[in-house]
Structure 1
Amino acid sequence: MNGTALWLHGLSIIAPGLPDWAHAAPVLRGEQAWAHAPSVLPPAEALPAAERRRASRAVRVALALGLHALQGHDPGEVATVFTSSGADGHNCHALCEQLAGEDRAISPTRFHNSVHNAAAGYWGIATRSMAPSQVLCAHDGSLGAGWIDALGQLACDGGELLLVAYDSEYPEPLHTCRPVPDAAGVAFWLGTTPREQSLGTLRTTLVTDDPEAMAQAPLDALRTDFPALRCLPLLERIARRDERPVVIDYLAPQRLRVQFTPADHEHQQPRPAHAA
C-alpha cells in the first residue's frame, strides 16, 4: 500500500450492457453509448458436465471473469483472490425457502453451494489449480478488501495473482433488502514483473478522499448498484490510457487511490507517473 508499482497483465468485466472488455472499453472512452442489456454469462465449459449443471450464476460469472482476464495463460499457475459481497443469492433464496416449508431436508448440492468459497472451489475443479486461493467478503467494500489482500500477497510473495470480484442478484423477498440487479464483476491479472502484453502499472495508496463518480449517469448507476464494480472509474482510466489518479470506494472513511501508468510496449516500461 506504499504506492509500489504492480503490473496489470490482463483484465475482464461482465456487467449489464458490458459483456466483456472489448465491448466495455469503447463505452468507457465515450466512443459508444451504453445500452442496457442483461449480463451475458458464458457457460462454464471448463467444468466437467456434472459440475457444469450445478454451477450457479455466481459461479459462472466468476469463472468467466477469471479465464478471460488470464487471456489463455495457464490458470493453474496463478494464485487467486475471490471477493464478493454476497455470492450466490439464488441458492440462498432456495435454502431459505426450503427451511420455511414442512420438509426441511437440505440437498447436499444446495448445501455445498451455499458456502462463500463455492466459486473458488469450482475454479479449482475447472482449472485443476493447486495455487493458493483466498476468499473474502466485506459487504460493499468487498472489491477494496480483495484489492488490498491481493496487493499484500504480491508484496510478500511476489509472482502473479488473479483478483476476481463478483456479485449476483437475490430473488424476492431478499432482493428488496439487497437490491443487486444482476450478476456482474471484474477481474485483474496482476504481477510484480512485466509481461509482453502488460497494459501498464498500478500504484495504490490509502486515502480518505471522496470516491470518484462516473460522468455518465448510467455507468455511475452500475458503480453504485454493484459492489464489485466500484472500480469502474479505474477501468475508465485504463480504457483511456489516462494517468490521473482515481479514488475508488472502500470502507468509509478509507478509500483507495490508484494510479494507472500505461506501458511503453517497445521497451516494456511504464511511462513516468504523474505526481499523485
Structure 2
Amino acid sequence: MNLTAYLDGIGVLGPGLDNWIAARPILAGSAPYETRPIAVPAPLSLPVAERRRTGTAVKVALAVGYEAIATGQLDARQLATVFSSSGADGDNCDAICKTLASEDRHISPTRFHNSVHNAPSGYWGIASGAMRPSTVLCAYDGSFSAGLLEALTQVVVEDRSTLLVTYDVPYPEPLHAKRPLPSAFGIALALSPQRSAQSLARIEVSLADDAPDALAEPALEALRIAIPAARGLPLLQAVARGEACRVVLDYLTPLRLAVVIEPCR
C-alpha cells in the first residue's frame, strides 16, 4: 500500500544547517555547506520554569517543530504529532546511570521526568497548547522512516494533518564510545491530507529494497550516515531542488522507504 500526503512545512536543525531557509540552498547545491557546531535556540515558547529544566533533546524537537508549522502557516493546536528518536535524551540517561552507580541513589525528579521517551511530546503540549493525539516511538537507526510511516498512516487513515518531529542528540562518554552520534540533529515535517496554498510537495511513500540514496556533499553524507534523524536529508534535498523525483531512505534492513516527490510550487 502506498501512503500519500502533502508536505506543508519543514523544520531542520543540525551542524551548519540552522533552519530550513538556510538549509534549502545548501541542499539544492546553490550554496556551499560549511560544517560548524549546532546552535540550538532556547525554547522561548515554554514557561520559564519548564524552560530551565529542558535539555538539548527537547530544545531541538521544539525548534524544528515550530519551524515546520511556521513555514506551513499551521496551528499547532490542530495537529496530531509523531515524535521519533533513536535514543532521546542521552544527557539525562548518563546522569541517571551515574547516580544509580553511586552510593547515593536518589534520582532527581526533574531528571526522571525528562528521561522518559515522551518528554519532548509533553513539552510540546505545554508550549503549543496542542491537545490532539501524540505518538512517540523509537526504531533505532530506522527511527526517521518509522516516524514518517506512522505520520503518513495517521494522515491517510485518520484524514488529519500530522506533524512529524524526529531528533537525536549525542551521548556523553562513556556511552558515546558505544553510540557515537557526532551532533544533535532534528527534522520536522508538517503533513496534510489535502493540498493547500502552502504545500511544498506531494509525497508518496512505499516500502522498497533499493539501496538508500546518498548525498554528493561528503560532509552532509557523513551526517546522514552517522545520525538516524539525518537519514531524512535525501527527502529534504529533493524538496529543496524543486524537481519531481524518487528517493530511497534507510529503514529497517533489508527494508527501505521509496519516496516519490512531486513539487507543488
TM-score, scaled relative to structure 1: 0.93
Structure 1 position 184 matched with structure 2 position 185 = yes
- What is the DSSP-based 3-state SS (H/G/I as helix, E as strand, rest coil) of the residue aligned with 2:245? coil
How far 1:57 moved relative to its partner? 0.2
Quote the Cα distance in structure 1 between the aligned partners of 2:181 and 2:110: 24
Partner of 2:6: 7
Map 1:27-46; keep pairs closer than 5 Å. Answer: 27-46=26-45
Q: How much is the aligned-residue C-alpha RMSD, in angstroms?
A: 1.0
How far 1:205 moved relative to its partner? 1.0
Quote the Cα distance in structure 2 between the aligned partners of 1:5 and 1:75: 21
Partner of 1:268: none
Map 1:190-229; keep pairs closer than 5 Å. Answer: 190-229=191-230
Task: Number of aligned residue pairs: give it.
Answer: 263
Unaligned runs of 5+ in 1: 265-276
- What is the DSSP-based 3-state SS (H/G/I as helix, E as strand, rest coil) of the residue aligned with 1:149? helix
Quote the Cα distance in structure 2 between the aligned partners of 1:219 and 1:37: 12
Identity %: 50
Quote the Cα distance in structure 2 between the aligned partners of 1:92 and 1:246: 35
How far 1:146 moved relative to its partner? 0.6
How far 1:38 moved relative to its partner? 1.1
CA deviations on 1:116-154 (whole Å, 9 max, x unpaired) are 000001111111111000000000000111111111111
Partner of 1:70: 69
CA deviations on 1:25-78 (whole Å, 9 max, x unpaired) are 111111111111111111111111110000110000000110100015321110
Is residue 159–residue 193 contact of structure 1 (8 Å, CA) maintained in 2?
Answer: no
Is residue 16–residue 38 contact of structure 2 (8 Å, CA) maintained in 1?
Answer: yes
How far 1:219 moved relative to its partner? 0.7
Partner of 2:169: 168
- What is the DSSP-based 3-state SS (H/G/I as helix, E as strand, rest coil) of the residue aligned with 1:230? helix
Unaligned runs of 5+ in 2: none
Partner of 2:83: 82
Partner of 2:57: 58
Partner of 1:267: none
Quote the Cα distance in structure 1 between the aligned partners of 2:191 and 2:28: 23
Quote the Cα distance in structure 1 between the aligned partners of 2:37 and 2:154: 34
Is residue 4–residue 152 contact of structure 2 (8 Å, CA) maintained in 1?
Answer: no
Is residue 165–residue 186 contact of structure 1 (8 Å, CA) maintained in 2?
Answer: yes
Quote the Cα distance in structure 1 between the aligned partners of 2:212 and 2:162: 25
Quote the Cα distance in structure 1 between the aligned partners of 2:138 and 2:160: 24
TM-score, scaled relative to structure 2: 0.97
Partner of 1:154: 155
